[in-house]
Amino acid sequence: MALLLKGSEVASAINERTAAAVAELKQKGVTPTLCILRVGERPDDLSYERGALKRADAVGVNVVKKLFSENVTEEELIAAVNEINADPSIHGVLMFRPLPRHINESRVCNALAPEKDVDGITEMSMAGVYAQKPLGYAPCTAQAVTETIDHYGIDLTGKNVTVIGRSLVIGKPVTMMLIKKNATVTVCHTRTRDTAAECRRADVIVAAVGSAGMVKSDFVRDGQIVIDVGINWSEEKGKIVGDVEFDEVEPVVCAITPVPGGVGAVTTSVLMSHVAEAARKACAE
């Protein structure tokens, strides 16, 4: 039976550190504040928002909201972002995406000041990840992967890691973050000839492709660690499932993150830690 790398343990450790940092800032008269910027009412956005609000309350982070209808204009959104940039009481922004098709998402995201980009959505933040410099913040889900690895004492030095997925949200940034940990990283995508073979060669697999149950027993071997980042709704099973076919893979590998209850449980904790850090930096200026 594989060791379950539960996200709740990782989240609790991060929350404890964040709550202490928030309490220290409040003693200085600074209340770390997150602004949620949401367009429309997509069920997955609302679900994540509820989780973020719960996490914020637990660690003492204040939350304000800027909500818009689906027919909001690009100019209205950019104006809202500019207001946030100019407001010293707001330290970080969570902007739900994708934005409606009539809006240039890149333009809106990059209007956000990097120091308030606590979810890694600007090009400046991505440059920071790639250059390994403190410009903005890493995408929260990508960092949740590395926080999980760190919490469970997994040393990646010299290890072969296969990342499935090359998105800007997870695949590409997590690849760079794993390289920083001295891993040798292979990235698989839709044009990879034999993803299963690439995965079998790995010591660690990070599945971040957004395809329910893609990673099956023929992708894995004894002794591997599997990090499942996927969150997919399965009509067949009537529940949320990962990118990994858990029942097939878990008996083979030595450690695996569950879905739900794995990496996803860590993401909002990372978000709040970024807000606290952004508030600390603003306070120090």
- Looking at the structure, tell me whether residues 95 and 148 fall in a common domain: no
Residue 122 lies in a domain: no
Residue 223 lies in a domain: yes
> What does the DSSP 8-state code read for residue 152?
T
Residue 8 lies in a domain: no
Number of structural domains the chain divides into: 2
Residue-number span of the structural domain to which 249 is assigned: 140-264
The model's pTM = 0.95
CATH number for 37 = 3.40.50.10860
Residue 129 lies in a domain: no
- Looking at the structure, tell me whether residues 252 and 186 fall in a common domain: yes
**Cα 99–chain centre separation:** 18
Q: What is the pLDDT of residue 44?
A: 86
- Looking at the structure, tell me whether residues 148 and 258 fall in a common domain: yes
Residue 192 neighbours by CB under 8 Å, 6+ apart: 198
Q: What is the pLDDT of residue 95?
A: 97
DSSP track, 213-256: T-B-GGG--TT-EEEE---EEETTTTEEE-SB-HHHHTTTSSEE
Residue 235 lies in a domain: yes
Residue 123 lies in a domain: no
Residue 209 lies in a domain: yes
Q: What is the pLDDT of residue 234?
A: 84
- Looking at the structure, tell me whether residues 152 and 241 fall in a common domain: yes
Q: What is the side-by-side strand order in the sheet with 62-68?
A: 62-68, 33-39, 92-95
Of 90, 79, 95, nearest in space to 42 by CA = 95
Q: What are phi and psi of 79, to 5 degrees?
A: -60, -40
**Average pLDDT in the 23-27 region?**
97
- Looking at the structure, tell me whether residues 175 and 252 fall in a common domain: yes
- Looking at the structure, tell me whether residues 259 and 144 fall in a common domain: yes
**Cα 179–chain centre separation:** 17
**Average pLDDT in the 165-185 region?**
96
